[in-house]
Amino acid sequence: MCGIVGYIGKRDVAPLLLEGLQRLEYRGYDSAGVVITSPKATGLKMVKAKGRVRDLEARVPKRFTGTTGIAHTRWATHGAPSDENAHPHLDADNKVAVVHNGIIDNASELRAKLIADGVEFLSETDTEVLTHLIARSDAEKLEDRVREALRHIEGTYGIAVLHADFNDRIVVARNGSPVVLGIGEKEMFVASDVAALVSHTRQVVTLDDGEMATIKADDYRTYTTEGSRTTASPTTVEWEAESYDMGGHDTYMHKEIFEQADAVDRVLRGRIDDRFSTVHLGGLNLDAHDARKVRRVKILGCGTSYHAGMIGAQMIEELARIPADAEPASEFRYRNAVVDPDTLYVAVSQSGETYDVLAAVQELKRKGARVFGIVNVVGSAIAREADAGVYVHAGPEVCVVSTKCFTNTTVAFALLALHLGRIRDLSVSDGKRIIAGLRQLPAQIEQMLEREDEIKKLAQEFAEAKSMLFIGRVRGYPVAREASLKLKEVSYIHAEAYPASELKHGPLALIEPALPTVAIVPDDDLLEKNRAALEEIKARSGKILAVAHQEQEKADHTIVVPKNENELDPILMGIPLQLLAYHTALALGRDIDKPRNLAKSVTVE
Ligand code: F6R
C-alpha cells in the first residue's frame, strides 16, 4: 500500500527521501515521486515515475538539491499507475504539494465542483482534489488552509503537505492512515511507517486519528483538526534499523522463516509464571473476576492472521473450555453482527493497520464491546483502538507474505488460552504441561528448519503442479488453510484447503495423479481418521505429501515434524510448509518478497 516519507533539516534531502522510499518498498506500490524545496528556494522541484523507486532515482536530475521534502510510493486506487497519477500532486501555481495515503470517498463530487469552478486536473487521483482545495484557501497560515480543505473531505487519509510560501515547515494530518513523526537533532522526519525513519532516529510520535502536526527542523507541534493543541511525547521504537536488513539471506521471506525460533523466544520472554503454571499478560487488563465472566471468544482477522485466529480459537476451547471461533474481519464488519456483552472480542493483525480489522474493531466498540488486540506493530492503529492486548514481538516483517508473525501470533494465542484456562478449569499439571511445550518450541523450530534441503527437493516436484489440495482435520485444518494460502500467494499455484473429513463430500472427485495433496497428520486422537483419508486418496492414485509426527505409509513423502503437546502441534506443523511455498516459488522464479497484486498492509477497503 502507499507510503509517505518526509524530511526537514539541514541535510541534502533527495537521497534521504529516496532511501526512505526504498525502505517502504516492501509495502507494495506501482509508482513513486518526490518534491523538494529549501528555505532559500522560491519554488518546488518535483520528479515522479511509474514503476520502482530505482526508476524514480534514475530520473532525478543532478542539481536536485534542497533541505525539505516529501515523497511517496503509490498503490493505485483512483486511476491507473502512471507518471501523472503518482504523488506528489501540485496545484496549478506549483505552490502546494500533497502526498496522501488512504481514499477520499467524496472525491468525484468534489472534483466535479472544482472543475465547474474552472480548476484543471492533471491526474485521475482522489488526492489532487485535496491539493486544489488547499491552494484555494486564503487563510493566513498553512495549517488553517490544510484544516479548511480537510473539512470538505470524507474518507481516510494520512497526508503530508509542502507549500512554496511556507517552506520552513511540513504540515501532516491523520485520519485512518498512519502518520509517524521522527524526532532528530535539529531535523525532523515524517513517515507512514517507522521502517522509513529508524535508520535516522528511534524517537517517534505517532499521530492519532483526527490529529495534525507541523514539523519544522527544530520543533514540532501537534493539534487536532479542530485546532486545539495536543500533547504527544516521543516514544522509543524497539526495532533497530538492522532488523530491516536482509542479514545475508537472499530474500526477506527466507530471513523471516529462519528468525522464527528467536521470535518465539521473544513472545514467551518474561511472560511465563512457573509458580502458578500460568502466564502474565501485562497488557491484557483482565482480572480473574472479569475473565470468569467471559462466555464466548470471537476472533477477527484477515488472511494469515485469520488463520492464526482459527488456531487460537481451538486452543481457547481446548485449554479454557470457552466457546470460541474466528471469522474474517472483512466479513464480520458488513453483517451487522449481534454484539454480546459477555463475549471477548479479539482483533488480530500483524501490521495493526488492516482497514477491515480496524473497521470491525471500531464497529464493535461503537456497540459497547470489549476488544483485545493481538498485534505485532507497537502503537499501530488497531493496538491503539483496542481496549487492551498482547504484542506478539515478532520484530519487523518486511516480506509481504507473513511467516514469523503468523507463528508468533499462534504462540500469543496459546498464552492467552493458558491464561484463561488457568483462571478457569485447567489444572496445574496441564498448565505445567503446556508451559513445558511452549518452552520446547524454539529448539523444535530450529530442528525443523535444518530439513530445508529435503523440502527444497520436494519443492522442485511441486513446482510442476497446476493445482494442489491441502487437507487437515480439526487442529490440522487451519494449518492446511494457511499452508494453502502461503503457496498460492507466493508461487501463484492454485491451491485449495479442505477439512479432511469433507473429502468424501465432494473434493474426492478431483483426486488424480496430477493433483498432489498435502495432508496434515498430527499424532493425536484423530490419527487413524487421517490415515483413512490418506488411504482414500491413494486408492485414487493421488500423490501425497504428509506433514506428520511419524512416517506415513500411504504418503509418497512424509516431512516428520517434532512432536509437542497436542494443543500446540499446529504452531509447528505449518513451518515446513512455509519452506515448501518458498522453494516452490523460488523454483518458479517468482518475486518472492513482493508477490504480484499484493501489499503488506491493506489500509484501504
Ligand atoms: C498473507 C498475508 C495476509 C495478511 C492479511 C492481514 O501472507 O500476509 O493475508 O495476513 O492481509 O494482515 P495483518 O495481519 O497485517 O492484519
Per-position DSSP letters for 343-365, written without gaps between them: EEEEEEESSS--HHHHHHHHHHH
Distance 209 CA to ligand 1 centre (A): 22
Note whether 201 and 182 are within 8 A (CB). yes
The sign one gets for the Cα dihedral 324, 271, 433, 471 is: positive
Distance 325 CA to ligand 1 centre (A): 18
Phi-psi region of 394 (alpha: psi -120 to 50; beta: other; left: phi over 0): alpha
CA distances for 261 relative to 304, 355, 405, 440, angstroms: 19, 30, 12, 10
The pLDDT of residue 603 is above 80: no
User: What is the DSSP secondary structure assignment for residue 121, as one 8-state letter?
Assistant: P
Residue 600: which H helix or E strand, with range? none
Q: Residue 71 phi/psi, 5° resolution?
A: -145, 165
Residues enclosing ligand 1, CB less than 6 A?
302-305, 349-351, 354, 357, 401-402, 489, 601-602
pTM greater than 0.85 (yes/no): yes
Note whether 86 and 74 are within 8 A (CB). yes
Which of these, 393, 410, 387, 433, lies nearest to 278 by C-alpha position?
433
The pLDDT of residue 449 is above 80: yes
Amino acid 604: pLDDT: 66
C-alpha 508/C-alpha 487 separation (Å) is: 21
Question: What proportion of the chain, given as a percentage, has pLDDT over 90?
Answer: 86
C-alpha 506/C-alpha 508 separation (Å) is: 6
Number of the ligand 1 atom closest to the C-alpha atom of 403: 7
The residue whose CA is least distant from atom 9 of ligand 1 is: 303
Number of the ligand 1 atom closest to the C-alpha atom of 303: 9
Residue positions annotated with a catalytic role: 2, 600
Distance 352 CA to ligand 1 centre (A): 10
The residue whose CA is least distant from atom 10 of ligand 1 is: 304
C-alpha 37/C-alpha 46 separation (Å) is: 9
The residue whose CA is least distant from atom 5 of ligand 1 is: 303
Mean pLDDT, the chain, whole residue set? 94
The pLDDT of residue 296 is above 70: yes
Note whether 527 and 473 are within 8 A (CB). no
Number of the ligand 1 atom closest to the C-alpha atom of 602: 11
Q: How many CB atoms lie within 10 A of CB 454?
A: 14
Amino acid 399: pLDDT: 92
- Which string of b and e fits 73-89 if b means at least 16 CB within 10 Å? bbbbbbbeebbbbbbbb
Which of these, 26, 31, 23, lies nearest to 7 by C-alpha position?
23
Domains defined along the chain, listed by start: 3-244 (3.60.20.10), 246-449 (3.40.50.10490), 451-592 (3.40.50.10490)
- Sheet with 170-175, strands from edge to edge, namely 89-90, 96-101, 157-163, 170-175, 211-216, 219-224, 229-230
Distance 265 CA to ligand 1 centre (A): 22
Cell, residue 121: 486536473
Note whether 422 and 408 are within 8 A (CB). no
Cell, residue 412: 500469543
Q: For the chain, what is the total number of helices (H) and then of strands (E)?
A: 19, 27
**pLDDT tens profile 454-507:** 999 999 988 999 999 999 999 999 999 999 999 999 999 999 999 999 999 999
Cell, residue 498: 479442505
The pLDDT of residue 80 is above 90: no
C-alpha 324/C-alpha 299 separation (Å) is: 8
Amino acid 407: pLDDT: 98
**pLDDT tens profile 185-227:** 999 999 998 989 999 999 999 999 899 999 999 999 999 999 8
From 252, 306, 354, 485, give the residue whose CB has the most ligand 1 atoms within 8 Å, as the site to mutate.
354
From 1, 193, 304, 489, give the residue whose CB has the most ligand 1 atoms within 8 Å, as the site to mutate.
304
The sign one gets for the Cα dihedral 58, 122, 28, 385 is: positive
Amino acid 75: pLDDT: 86
Distance 402 CA to ligand 1 centre (A): 6
The identity of residue 337, as a single letter, is A
Identify the bridge partners of residue 72 per DSSP, sorted by sequence position: 4, 33
The residue whose CA is least distant from atom 6 of ligand 1 is: 302
**pLDDT tens profile 91-147:** 999 999 999 999 899 999 999 999 999 999 999 999 999 999 999 999 999 999 999
Pairing outcome for strands 467-472 and 494-499: parallel
Distance 536 CA to ligand 1 centre (A): 34
C-alpha 166/C-alpha 185 separation (Å) is: 21
CA distances for 250 relative to 20, 27, 139, 245, 411, angstroms: 21, 18, 52, 11, 27
Average pLDDT for 158-180: 95
CA distances for 355 relative to 263, 268, 333, 362, 450, angstroms: 26, 28, 10, 10, 37
Which of these, 458, 479, 468, 138, lies nearest to 304 by C-alpha position?
479
C-alpha 450/C-alpha 555 separation (Å) is: 22
Which of these, 75, 42, 73, lies nearest to 57 by C-alpha position?
73
User: What is the DSSP secondary structure assignment for residue 153, as one 8-state letter?
Assistant: -
Distance 534 CA to ligand 1 centre (A): 31
Distance 537 CA to ligand 1 centre (A): 32
Q: How many CB atoms lie within 10 A of CB 120?
A: 8
Note whether 235 and 379 are within 8 A (CB). yes
Return the higher-pLDDT residue of 451 and 28. Answer: 451
User: What is the DSSP secondary structure assignment for residue 176, as one 8-state letter?
Assistant: B
Number of the ligand 1 atom closest to the C-alpha atom of 600: 8
Average pLDDT for 73-98: 91
From 361, 402, 485, 487, give the residue whose CB has the most ligand 1 atoms within 8 Å, as the site to mutate.
402
The pLDDT of residue 452 is above 90: yes
User: What is the DSSP secondary structure assignment for residue 155, as one 8-state letter?
Assistant: B
Note whether 129 and 98 are within 8 A (CB). no
Note whether 437 and 297 are within 8 A (CB). no
Long-range interactions of 138-141: CB distance < 8 A, separation 24+: 141/166
The residue whose CA is least distant from atom 3 of ligand 1 is: 303
Note whether 74 and 29 are within 8 A (CB). yes
Amino acid 380: pLDDT: 87
Distance 592 CA to ligand 1 centre (A): 15
Sheet strands (E) in 226-377: 229-230, 235-236, 272-273, 278-279, 296-301, 324-328, 343-349, 370-375
Sheet strands (E) in 114-224: 157-163, 170-175, 180-183, 188-191, 203-206, 211-216, 219-224
Which of these, 371, 286, 348, 347, lies nearest to 320 by C-alpha position?
286
Distance 553 CA to ligand 1 centre (A): 35
- Report the Cα–Cα distance between both ends of the chain, in Å, rounded: 11
Number of the ligand 1 atom closest to the C-alpha atom of 382: 16
Number of the ligand 1 atom closest to the C-alpha atom of 409: 14
Scan for cell 510510493, then name that residue.
73
Note whether 575 and 448 are within 8 A (CB). yes
Note whether 60 and 33 are within 8 A (CB). no
Distance 302 CA to ligand 1 centre (A): 6
Cell, residue 316: 481457547
From 252, 299, 300, 302, give the residue whose CB has the most ligand 1 atoms within 8 Å, as the site to mutate.
302
The pLDDT of residue 28 is above 80: no
Q: How many CB atoms lie within 10 A of CB 541?
A: 10
